[in-house]
Amino acid sequence: MSGSRKLARRAFLLEGAATGALLVATSRGSALPVPRRRPNIVLVLLDDFGIGDAQIYNPWSAIPTPNIDRLAAQGMRFADMHASSAVCTPSRYSILNGRYCWRSRLKSGVLDGSGTDLIEEGRLTLPGLLQKAGYRTAGIGKWHLGLGSGEATDYGKPLRPGPIDHGFDSYFGIPSSLDFPPYLYFENDHVVEAPSGHTEGSKEPRGVFWRAGGIAPHFRMEEVVPTLTARAVDYVKVAKRDKPFFLYFPLPSPHTPWVPLPEYKGTSNAGDYGDYVVETDAMIGRLLDAIDARPDGDDTIVIVTSDNGADWKPEDAARFAHRANADWRGEKADAWEAGHRIPFVIRWPGHIAPGTVSRETGSLTDIMATVAGALDLSLPDDAAEDSFNLLPALQQTGHAPIRPNIVDHSLEGMFTIREGNWKLVLGLGSGGFSAPKSVAPAAGGPKGQLYDLDADPREERNLYDAHPEIVARLSATLTELQQSGRSHPRRGI
């Protein structure tokens, strides 16, 4: 790579590392108008989609993503957005609850296909908030927050508690990741077709992976993404206009297994993974076309984001000239930036200036408070405890940093806390998939990791021992957050 291109790539990386003021603004200082009719809301959650996959984030991406790119051109993208965890179940909990998942019974890791309902009874969720505000609420896609009660899900019984107990009027999808059995569709509280068959699973080639287990007779891995998309498009097309609707559309791609349809084979320069991303982007395009065809299409908030970083390993980067996590260190599951720094694109015509970029530090936990703020809805004190309203960033008004700090954790439960440019990792190693996963502290050496992300976005210079006062301050703040049960100041009920 030429010296000028290296400098360009570093400048692009630093775009997301810097903190403070907004990058691009075409309109400033005006308050977001209260809509005459509350807007429809469509939240698309991708699975293991990296910040370097979309060309709007990474000009050197080997994968064409025209639909995500056009959405960003029509709205705003965030350069410093984070999942609340580097793996999927905790992130999904945080999105729907506005709360860090480590406050639930799941302290680390993910649920498998037998995991039971993770959302606490009586907790106000994002769809529940919107349901109370007069919205129709639907979910279509990967759930992965547990179904039923007890020690393990009984798929022969009603799947309660489940999505329809947590604010969804309807739900159609798959129980968990597309590589966890049982492989089946469920609708509301029942299985569509019982997993009476068995699959031996797959391990080859790289990425075409799923575990052995029960499977419904007509379930086909490669048909899941288009099947879910068809349901989502149909929902948007037929949704009545007497009420606004909320559609939660968590696609299971490009998570393993990488199974693109034949028409997408060879459409990228990043192998099966890249082709699966192309298919995923095309499905987003179908949904956007359906939204744009509605008379109220312009009065629709559309969000596209990811649950964590990409599962893009060093051997993948050696094989293909593609960096799914851009130049951030690590990959999915890690405490390092690539594990949880994610794309986040939002469009709301007439309310968010097109083609804008925000450097505001945000978390997927913030979706709930931001939606409430945009709709002028109040949140009770016992809901969305870790959710901050990012509306000032969307409005492009001059404002102080919205979040005082942000917390993430790895697959193994290794915590990170970030304040401004300083990031503390409570441990050595990645805490996830990247080697070394964990490192025992050497005698007299650092016990954790401290990075200045402004000066060192690649997390290559550990300053833990050089700044004990910052380590102490961030450690105390994290302890306070863990003990207080909330990040957001009490709102009052």
- Transcribe 153-212 into DSSP letters: --TTS---SSGGGTT-SEEEEESS-TTSS-B--EETTEESS---EEE--B--STT--B--
Strands 186-187, 170-174: parallel, antiparallel or unpaired by DSSP? Answer: antiparallel
Residue 98: which of 317, 368, 339 has the closest Cα? 368
Each residue of 191-214: pLDDT tens digit? 999 999 999 999 999 999 999 999
- pLDDT reading at 29 higher than 50: no
- pLDDT reading at 36 higher than 90: no
- pLDDT reading at 109 higher than 50: yes
pLDDT of residue 490: 80
Query: Over the chain, what is the mean pLDDT?
Result: 93
Q: How far is Cα 124 from Cα 385, in angstroms, rounded to an integer?
A: 11
Q: How far is Cα 151 from Cα 167, in angstroms, rounded to an integer?
A: 24
Each residue of 167-181: pLDDT tens digit? 999 999 999 999 999
Each residue of 277-310: pLDDT tens digit? 999 999 999 999 999 999 999 999 999 999 999 9
Is 169 exposed, middle or buried, given 0-12, 13-18 or 19+ CB atoms closer than 10 A? middle
> Do residues 132 and 109 make contact, with C-beta atoms less than 8 angstroms apart?
no
- Which residues make beta-bridge pairs with 270? none
pLDDT of residue 22: 29
Residues 361-383 have a mean pLDDT of 97
pLDDT of residue 491: 75
Residues 23-45 have a mean pLDDT of 62
Q: How far is Cα 372 from Cα 57, in angstroms, rounded to an integer?
A: 28
pLDDT of residue 31: 47
Each residue of 432-478: pLDDT tens digit? 999 999 999 999 999 999 999 999 999 999 999 999 999 999 999 99
Q: How far is Cα 132 from Cα 452, in angstroms, rounded to an integer?
A: 43
- 3-state DSSP assignment of residue 346: strand
- pLDDT reading at 95 higher than 70: yes
- Which residues make beta-bridge pairs with 344? 78, 305
Residue 179 corresponds to which tokens in the numbers above? 């590589």
pLDDT of residue 92: 98
H helices of 189-270, in order, are 224-238
Domain assignments of the chain as residue spans, ordered by start: 22-395, 406-484
**Per-residue confidence band for 488, with pLDDT thresholds at 50, 70 and 90:** confident
pLDDT of residue 2: 47
Residues 401-418 have a mean pLDDT of 97
- pLDDT reading at 17 higher than 70: no
CA 205: distance to chain centroid? 26
> Do residues 343 and 337 make contact, with C-beta atoms less than 8 angstroms apart?
no
pLDDT of residue 294: 98
> Do residues 84 and 100 make contact, with C-beta atoms less than 8 angstroms apart?
yes
Residue 139: which of 96, 118, 170, 116 has the closest Cα? 170
Domain 406-484 top-level CATH class: alpha beta
pLDDT of residue 37: 81
Residues 329-354 have a mean pLDDT of 98
Give the rounded percent of residues in the chain with a pLDDT score beyond 70: 92
pLDDT of residue 28: 35
Distance of CA 254 to CAs 207, 272, 306, 460, Å? Answer: 10, 10, 10, 29
> Do residues 302 and 288 make contact, with C-beta atoms less than 8 angstroms apart?
yes
pLDDT of residue 20: 32
- 3-state DSSP assignment of residue 21: coil
More confident residue, 19 or 123: 123
> Do residues 403 and 362 make contact, with C-beta atoms less than 8 angstroms apart?
yes
pLDDT of residue 45: 98
Please give the model's pTM, rounded to 2 decimal places.
0.93
Q: How many Cα atoms occupy the beta-carbon half-sphere of 55 within 13 Å?
A: 16
Handedness of CA 286, 288, 289, 290 (dihedral sign): positive
> Do residues 429 and 448 make contact, with C-beta atoms less than 8 angstroms apart?
no
CA 155: distance to chain centroid? 27
Residue 405: which of 389, 392, 420 has the closest Cα? 420
**Per-residue confidence band for 103, with pLDDT thresholds at 50, 70 and 90:** very high
- pLDDT reading at 142 higher than 60: yes
Has domain 22-395 been given CATH number 3.40.50.300? no
pLDDT of residue 399: 83
- pLDDT reading at 378 higher than 60: yes
pLDDT of residue 3: 44
